[in-house]
Structures are given as structure tokens and as C-alpha cells.
């Protein structure tokens, strides 16, 4: 385990493309260890997120420590915070929370009126999202954009989603709606 104090979390750009392969390898390895599904993304896709400044990368003295990205759906009505990953060396020190907080703020800065959502099977991510003001929702309250749901096809649990008509899976849907009067905690 490493120290989290030297880690900076920045909006990704062209200078961070060199981390793409490591990010994808870390995501794949984590999914295997957890035994849960995760939608696979191509190197080109992650690169594009960085070039669009729709991703954050955590670095410790130039070493990759973590990552997450944003994707818009339904004409920017919805924004998904996805791909959260922390390198093994930096787990257990609160870095995932810091990355989630930063990608949430970036989403609010770029798309202040959008509903922000996340799908996860992880209890820790659910807890962080709840503390940011998300609430658990049914999949029917999330984007109806077919392109989003096609992204689930690469997940090992896709058959469960299909068997349930696209309404349920092992993932929990979490939604932050900036127009709702209740928010447990909002990071501005």
C-alpha cells in the first residue's frame, strides 16, 4: 500500500495517453479478481475520452494510480461516470473516493443540468455515490439510449440483463438528479 498524499488527480489530456494500456490492463485484471462484470472499452475509446477532457487520471510522481471517465447520453440529459479503477498499489487509502469526487465535479462543471448516473456491483462505490447525493434507482430511470445499453454486451453478466428485459442485472443503478430537492451530500 502506498501513501495517498503525493497523488494528484487531474483532468486527463493528450499528455496522459501514455497510460491507456495500463488503465485497460488494470481494469481487466480487477474484473477477473472480483469475478464481476465490467464493460470493456477499447484503447481508442479511452484515448478519445482523454482528448475530450472527459476523464480524470490519478498520478503519484508520474506513476498511474487511478482513472475514471464521463460519457453523455440522451442528448446530454444523462452523464455516466464510468471506468473507475485504482491500481493495486494504491488501494485501501481512499483514492477511489477522491477519484469519484473529482469525476463527479467534472461532470457537474461540464454538464450542470444533466442527471449523473453510475452502474456498479461494488458496495464501496455505492457508498461513495450515496454520499455524493446519488440514490439507488431502477434501470427504467436511467438513459434509454440504446448505445449505452449496448456497452453492457461485453460484460460477463449481459445474459442476466437480457433475461430481465433490460430492467435488472447484478449492477445497481445510482442516479444524481440536480433538480431533486434532496441530496445527502453534494460536492461543488
Query: Is the pLDDT at 163 greater than 50, yes or no?
Result: yes
DSSP per residue, 121-142: --HHHHHHHHHHT-EEE-GGGS
Range 139-144 average pLDDT: 83
Find the length of the chain.
188
- Cβ count near 104 (within 10 Å): 26
Query: Is the pLDDT at 39 greater than 90, yes or no?
Result: no
CB neighbour list of residue 15: distance below 8 Å, 6 or more residues apart: none
In this structure, are residues 20 and 43 in contact, taking their beta carbons and an 8 Å threshold? Answer: yes
In this structure, are residues 37 and 125 in contact, taking their beta carbons and an 8 Å threshold? Answer: no
Of 87, 92, 124, 64, the C-alpha closest to 1 is 92
Q: How confident is the model at residue 28 (pLDDT cuts 50, 70, 90)?
A: confident
pLDDT given at position 178: 93
Of the listed ranges 23-32, 59-68, 151-160, the one predicted with least confidence: 151-160
Query: Is the pLDDT at 38 greater than 70, yes or no?
Result: no
Which grid coordinates are listed for 54? Answer: 472527459
Domain ranges of the chain: 7-176
Name the CATH architecture for the domain at 7-176: 3-Layer(aba) Sandwich (3.40)
pLDDT given at position 184: 45
Q: What's the pLDDT tens digit per position in 87-133? A: 999 999 999 999 999 999 999 999 999 999 988 878 888 899 999 99
Amino acid at each position: 500500500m502506498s501513501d495517498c498524499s503525493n497523488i494528484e488527480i487531474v483532468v486527463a489530456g493528450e499528455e496522459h495517453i501514455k497510460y491507456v494500456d495500463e488503465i485497460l490492463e488494470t481494469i481487466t485484471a480487477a474484473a477477473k479478481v472480483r469475478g464481476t462484470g465490467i464493460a470493456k472499452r477499447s484503447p481508442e475509446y479511452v484515448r478519445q475520452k482523454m482528448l475530450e477532457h472527459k476523464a480524470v487520471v490519478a498520478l503519484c510522481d508520474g506513476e498511474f494510480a487511478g482513472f475514471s471517465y464521463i460519457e453523455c447520453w440522451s442528448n446530454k440529459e444523462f452523464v455516466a461516470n464510468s471506468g473507475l479503477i485504482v491500481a493495486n498499489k494504491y488501494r485501501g487509502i481512499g483514492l477511489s473516493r477522491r477519484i469519484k469526487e473529482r469525476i463527479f465535479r467534472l461532470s457537474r462543471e461540464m454538464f450542470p443540468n444533466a442527471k449523473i448516473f453510475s452502474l456498479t456491483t461494488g458496495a464501496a462505490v455505492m457508498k461513495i455515490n450515496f454520499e455524493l447525493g446519488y440514490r439507488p434507482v431502477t434501470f427504467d430511470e436511467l438513459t434509454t439510449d440504446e448505445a449505452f445499453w449496448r456497452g453492457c454486451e461485453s460484460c460477463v453478466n449481459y445474459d442476466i440483463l437480457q433475461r430481465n428485459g433490460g430492467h435488472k442485472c447484478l449492477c445497481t443503478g445510482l442516479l444524481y438528479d440536480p433538480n431533486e430537492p434532496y441530496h445527502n451530500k453534494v460536492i461543488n
